[in-house]
Amino acid sequence: MFRSKFEIPASQAAARPLDSPWNLGQHRRVMANTRPDPIEKTDTAEKADPLTPHGGFADLVGYRIGDWESGHAEVILDVEARHLNRSGVAHGGVMSTLIDAACGYSGCYCTVPGNARRAMTLQLTTQFLGQVRHGDTLTATGRVVGGGRSVFFADCEVRTAKGELVGRGEGVFKYRRGSETPEGLPARQTHG
């Protein structure tokens, strides 16, 4: 008889509490009832500001921009319960997101108010160097280290508020059409 690697003997299943992750049906019901409240939609004026990270994923994660200038960007996140993995530390995807965002923003600073620059990630490498707990504040500092007209390279360090290095990474990014120059395009033309 074929048995799934996730199947457990009935004698062990009976010994597990109903809210155990091993009781998959119950686990799904428990998780469905503990989803966080939906993120409130941002104000329309904020949506029009290209300097404000907004939109589905940025709103979901909850990061914000600190210092931002040509070739340099800081992305800040206050670690909450929703950012933790099942071991009680920040999920690696959170750190990867901060590295990706900081590197991307570092190459997309725009010199013209009301305009924006956009880029897409071509490659991202991350290294996790320490554990991050609920209540920590992370600052991901990205900086451009090279590139040309259509592609740029950036690296990033992620530190806690105490200055502890907990992650690092680097990425390769391609400018979207119209974002190749520091002047960028009117923000409404860079979406999509």
Query: Quick one: what percent of the chain has pLDDT higher than 70?
Result: 70
Answer whether residue 51 shows pLDDT above 70.
Answer: no
Answer whether residue 132 shows pLDDT above 90.
Answer: yes
Label residue 56 by pLDDT band (50, 70, 90): confident
Sequence-separated (6 or more) residues with CB below 8 Å from residue 169: 96, 99, 100, 103, 124, 125, 126, 127, 155, 156, 158
Q: What pLDDT digit, counting tens, does each position of 78-102 carry? A: 999 999 999 999 999 999 999 999 9
Q: Name the average pLDDT for the chain.
A: 80
pLDDT of residue 59: 84
Tokens for 13, please give them.
């299943």
Between residues 130 and 19, the one the model is more confident about: 130
pLDDT of residue 71: 96
Whole-model pTM: value is 0.73
Answer whether residue 25 shows pLDDT above 50.
Answer: no
User: Which residue blocks in 123-188 are alpha helix, DSSP H?
Assistant: none
pLDDT of residue 10: 52
CA pair distance 63, 59, nearest whole angstrom? 7
Q: What pLDDT digit, counting tens, does each position of 136-174 carry? A: 999 999 999 999 999 999 999 999 999 999 999 999 999
pLDDT of residue 114: 86
Question: Kind and range of the H or E element at 95?
Answer: helix 92-106
